[in-house]
């Protein structure tokens, strides 16, 4: 179910020109400032807004080709679309919402209901099947929306900030459900997000859009290590680790330990902003709870800061001012001490 | 006590004299109805209402108003749809034109209908010459007159409801495999159901009370075109008690429509 798309959209005040190829099962996070064209790109792929020039091919079927004049309407493309506000049909129950797609595609009522129930069960909300959307919490409704989009077995899943409207704890749950379904499917997924954690945990590739054009394209780690613009640097580069917490410290899966200000017990996701990591030539004394010795792998200028890659464990990105970087004589291979205060280390249940 | 005092002070912070004017306004609207109910010939009401002429007028009124309402829904919903959704030049002019009957004196509407569909009318002369069809002074004329006056209520309320629909829900439905008609039936119409119900109720009420266009275009033939409002007007000349009895029936019908309107409207607004 690979996707190959070139989409050019020209409006009076705006132009979008994107070339994108995604292999089977690929999950691409689309990042970019507001107005960069992310939603326009998704709508064009879904056939909901017109493309001035381009070609979209998915799963071996040509959906659109402006050269030959071919155009498939949205209902005949295999796409699933999920918005940040779930947009469930208010007059239908959760089950009927999920069964809507199969029904619209001609599946018999009983079979459609059976599939819908299976999807709700799969997303852990099987017991809410009879509820109307108004009786669901935000996280529950978003899972129903996800089940609704998946129930048609789309070749391409388009997620427009699917977690943006959820509160922090619900976000973690829905993100995990999303990671599970994406992990086991061959569906291509485009995920528009503002959250670097979503991009890092869900996507195997990140595309950065600015002013309608792709400015950077690579794995989350590549982009974080060498962001091409200040905007990307601010957004990406958050150090994200998985680990197990014992109530005080977190043993990271990749090795090393970090002490957060507040540690839950059990599996956690730990985040540390690159700006919170300080580097020293000598072992530092005083308050930092987390100190480790490592060596520099990369040094990149990103906007006004220098982004330094550290080998670890834990491997990390640290942002320094140009002056500080020069003073330490940072270059790949140089040995340094890294430190971060406990209250800059955030752990939340995974 | 303190809390109640605070609440009371806040509630009375209204421009001086406003409550008095409001009371006058309410009395103005309610007192005529009180008078109608007060002076009703309750004792002989049953006899009056089972009078064959009355029953005939009531039947004709209900049939013609229902038919006019159905016609308004069938034609008015697509019209509202186009007004709300289409990107055509001149749409604003069209919207203004189709809502003219809302503000036009109904009797003028009746004259206009005669000039179109009367025996010498623009279209009526051909209907007569080619098919031998004469519309004026038939029950069909009553239905047409009522629909002409009442349909704009439906168009306006459905168009408003359609503008309030989140188009992205329709987009989601399209990606789920629903073609335009399927989306319209299964997503858009349910979403505008409260507006449609309100519009239908208003349209029915307006059609039921239609007088000016009907008497001009359809006349007042008992059993064929003499609806309740016409019967009431005629009865008022020589038998006021009968007119009051008939008026009570229409009042009761209107009250029922209003209740139906509220019950279907209010819960929908809440959700």
Q: Which residue of A has its CA nearest to B166?
A: A87
**Is B30 among the domain residues?**
no
Res. B268 pLDDT band, cuts 50 70 90: very low
Max CA-CA distance within chain A?
A: 71
What pLDDT is stored for residue B177 in this prediction? 92
Tell me whether A192 touches chain B (CB under 8 Å).
no
Residue with tokens 């010459």: B129
Arithmetic mean of pLDDT, B171-198: 92
Nearest 5 degrees, angle CA A144-CA A145-CA A149? 115
Between A48, A87, A105, which is nearest B174 by CB? A48
CATH of the domain at B244: 1.10.3720.10
Between A75, A101, A149, which is nearest B179 by CB? A75
Smallest CA–CA distance, residue A133 to chain B, in Å, is 10
**3-state class (DSSP) for residue A134:** helix
Tell me whether A100 touches chain B (CB under 8 Å).
yes
Q: Are the beta carbons of B175 and A104 separated by less than 8 Å?
A: no
Tell me whether A104 touches chain B (CB under 8 Å).
yes
Between B174, B176, B190, which is nearest A91 by CB? B190
Of residues A254 and A111, more confidence is placed in A111
The answer to whether the bond into A314 is cis (omega within 30° of 0) is yes
Q: Which residue of B has its CA nearest to A133?
A: B271
Q: Which residue of A has its CA nearest to B189?
A: A91
Q: Are the beta carbons of A46 and B171 separated by less than 8 Å?
A: yes
Chosen for mutation from A100, A119, A151, A161 (greatest number of chain B CBs closer than 10 Å) is A100
Q: Are the beta carbons of B174 and A148 separated by less than 8 Å?
A: no
Q: Which residue of B has its CA nearest to A150?
A: B176
Q: Are the beta carbons of A79 and B175 separated by less than 8 Å?
A: yes
pLDDT above 70 for B81: yes
**Is B34 among the domain residues?**
no
Q: Are the beta carbons of A104 and B176 separated by less than 8 Å?
A: yes
Tell me whether A283 touches chain B (CB under 8 Å).
no
Token pair of B26 as six digits: 């309410």
Q: Which residues in chain B have their CB less than 8 angstroms from residue A87's CB?
A: 166, 168-169, 172
Res. B267 pLDDT band, cuts 50 70 90: very low
Of residues A329 and A135, more confidence is placed in A135
Rounded Cα distance between A233 and A227, Å, is: 5
Arithmetic mean of pLDDT, B235-253: 87
Q: Which residues in chain A have their CB less than 8 angstroms from residue B190's CB?
A: 89-91
Domains in chain A (CATH in brackets) are 3-235 (3.40.50.300), 239-349 (2.40.50.100)
Q: Which residues in chain B have their CB less than 8 angstroms from residue A76's CB?
A: 177
Domain that holds residue B188: 45-270
Q: Are the beta carbons of A81 and B172 separated by less than 8 Å?
A: yes
What pLDDT is stored for residue B270 in this prediction? 40
What pLDDT is stored for residue B115 in this prediction? 95
What is the pairing mode between strands A61-65 and A70-71? antiparallel
Q: Are the beta carbons of B191 and A91 separated by less than 8 Å?
A: yes
What pLDDT is stored for residue B10 in this prediction? 58
Q: Which of residues 23-82 of A touch B (CB under 8 A)?
A: 43, 46-48, 73-77, 79-81
Q: Under 8 Å CB-to-CB from A187, ≥6 apart: which residues?
A: A1, A25, A80, A150, A153, A154, A155, A156, A157
Please state the domain count of chain B: 1
Of A300-304, B32-36, B40-44, B116-120, the least confident: A300-304
Res. B4 pLDDT band, cuts 50 70 90: very low
**Is B10 among the domain residues?**
no
ipTM rounded to 2 decimals: 0.74
Cα A306 to its chain centre, rounded Å, is 25
Angle between helices B139-163 and B189-208 (to 10 degrees): 140
Q: Are the beta carbons of A75 and B171 separated by less than 8 Å?
A: no
Q: Are the beta carbons of B178 and A104 separated by less than 8 Å?
A: yes
**Is B205 among the domain residues?**
yes
Of B234, B64, B225, which Cα lies nearest the Cα of B134? Answer: B225
- In tens, the pLDDT along A48-59 reads 988 899 999 998
Rounded Cα distance between A228 and B32, Å, is: 78
CA dihedral B119, B123, B128, B130 (to 10 degrees): 160
Average pLDDT, chain B: 88
- In tens, the pLDDT along B51-60 reads 888 888 889 9
| H-helix segments, A80-167 | 94-104, 109-122, 138-150
Q: Are the beta carbons of A75 and B176 separated by less than 8 Å?
A: yes
- In tens, the pLDDT along A128-137 reads 999 999 999 9
DSSP annotation string for chain B: -HHHHHHHHHHT-S-TTHHHHHHHHHHHHHHHHHHHHHT--GGGHHHHHTSHHHHHHHHHHHHHHHHHHHHHHHHHHHHHHHHHH---TTHHHHHHHHTHHHHS-HHHHHHHHHHHHSTTSTTHHHIIIII----TTSHHHHHHHHHHHHHHHHHHHHHHHHHTS-HHHHHHHHHTT--HHHHIIIIIHHHHHHHHHHHHHHHHHHHHT--HHHHHHT---TTTT--HHHHHHHHHHH-HHHHHHHHHHHHHHHHHHHHHHHHHHHHHHH-
Smallest CA–CA distance, residue B198 to chain A, in Å, is 17
Chosen for mutation from A48, A63, A96 (greatest number of chain B CBs closer than 10 Å) is A48
Q: Which residues in chain B have their CB less than 8 angstroms from residue A100's CB?
A: 173, 176, 178, 186
Q: Are the beta carbons of A104 and B166 separated by less than 8 Å?
A: no
Between B166, B177, B187, which is nearest A101 by CB? B177
pLDDT above 80 for A196: no
Q: Which residues in chain B have their CB less than 8 angstroms from residue A148's CB?
A: 172, 176
Q: Are the beta carbons of B175 and A134 separated by less than 8 Å?
A: no
What pLDDT is stored for residue A226 in this prediction? 73
Between B175, B179, B182, which is nearest A81 by CB? B175
Q: Which residue of B has its CA nearest to A149?
A: B176
Rounded Cα distance between B271 and B20, Å, is: 35
Of A95-104, B13-22, B103-112, the least confident: B13-22
Between B175, B178, B271, which is nearest A80 by CB? B175
């Amino acid at each position: 179910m690979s996707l190959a798309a070139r989409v050019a959209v020209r409006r009076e005040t705006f132009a979008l020109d994107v070339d994108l190829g995604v292999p089977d099962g690929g999950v691409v996070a689309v990042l970019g400032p507001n107005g960069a064209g992310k939603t326009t790109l998704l709508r064009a792929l879904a056939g909901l807004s017109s493309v001035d020039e381009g070609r979209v091919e998915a799963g071996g079927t040509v959906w659109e080709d402006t050269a030959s004049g071919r155009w498939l309407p949205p209902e005949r493309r295999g796409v699933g679309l999920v918005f940040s506000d779930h947009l469930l049909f208010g007059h239908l129950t959760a089950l009927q919402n999920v069964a809507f797609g199969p029904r619209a595609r001609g599946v018999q009522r009983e079979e459609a209901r059976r599939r819908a129930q299976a999807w709700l069960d799969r997303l852990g909300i099987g017991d809410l099947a009879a509820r109307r959307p108004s009786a669901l919490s935000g996280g529950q409704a978003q899972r129903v929306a996800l089940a609704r989009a998946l129930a048609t077995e789309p070749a391409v899943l388009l997620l427009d900030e699917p977690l943006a409207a959820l509160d922090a704890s619900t976000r973690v749950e829905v993100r995990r459900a999303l990671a599970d379904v994406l992990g086991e499917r061959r569906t291509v997924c485009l995920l528009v997000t503002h959250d670097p954690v979503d991009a890092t945990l869900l996507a195997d590739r990140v595309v950065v859009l600015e002013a309608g054009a792709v400015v950077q394209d690579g794995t989350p780690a590549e982009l974080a290590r060498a962001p091409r613009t200040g905007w990307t640097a601010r957004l990406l580069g958050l150090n994200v680790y998985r680990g197990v917490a014992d109530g005080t410290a977190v043993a990271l899966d990749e090795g090393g330990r970090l002490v957060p200000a507040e540690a839950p017990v059990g599996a956690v996701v730990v985040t540390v902003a690159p700006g919170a990591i300080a580097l020293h030539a000598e072992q530092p004394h005083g308050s930092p709870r987390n100190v480790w010795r490592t060596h520099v792998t990369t040094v990149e200028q990103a906007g006004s800061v220098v982004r330094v890659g550290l080998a670890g464990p834990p491997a990390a990105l640290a942002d320094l001012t140009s002056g500080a970087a020069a003073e330490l004589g940072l270059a790949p291979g140089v040995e340094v001490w890294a430190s971060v205060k406990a209250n800059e280390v955030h752990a939340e249940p995974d | 006590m303190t809390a109640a005092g605070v609440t009371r002070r806040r509630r009375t912070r209204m421009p001086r004299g406003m409550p008095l004017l409001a009371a006058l306004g309410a009395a103005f609207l309610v007192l005529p109805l009180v008078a109608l109910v007060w002076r009703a010939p309750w004792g002989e009401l049953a006899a009056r209402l089972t009078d064959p002429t009355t029953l005939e007028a009531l039947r004709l009124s209900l049939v013609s108003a229902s038919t006019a309402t159905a016609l308004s829904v069938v034609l008015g919903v697509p019209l509202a749809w186009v007004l709300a959704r289409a990107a055509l030049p001149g749409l604003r002019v069209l919207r203004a034109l189709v809502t003219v009957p809302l503000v036009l004196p109904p009797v003028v509407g009746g004259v206009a209908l005669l000039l179109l569909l009367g025996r010498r009318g623009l279209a009526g002369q051909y209907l007569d010459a080619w098919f031998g069809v004469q519309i004026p002074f038939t029950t069909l004329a009553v239905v047409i007159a009522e629909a002409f006056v009442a349909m704009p209520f439906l168009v306006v309320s459905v168009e408003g409801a359609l503008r309030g629909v989140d188009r992205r829900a329709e987009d989601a439905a399209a990606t789920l495999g629903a073609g335009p008609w399927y989306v319209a039936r299964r997503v858009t119409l349910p979403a505008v159901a409260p507006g449609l119900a309100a519009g239908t109720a208003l349209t029915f009420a307006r059609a039921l009370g239609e007088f000016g266009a009907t008497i001009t275009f359809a006349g007042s033939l008992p059993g064929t075109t003499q609806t309740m409002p016409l019967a009431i007007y005629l009865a008022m000349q020589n038998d006021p008690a009968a007119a009051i009895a008939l008026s009570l029936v229409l009042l009761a019908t209107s009250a029922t429509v209003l209740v139906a309107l509220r019950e279907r409207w209010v819960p929908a607004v809440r959700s």
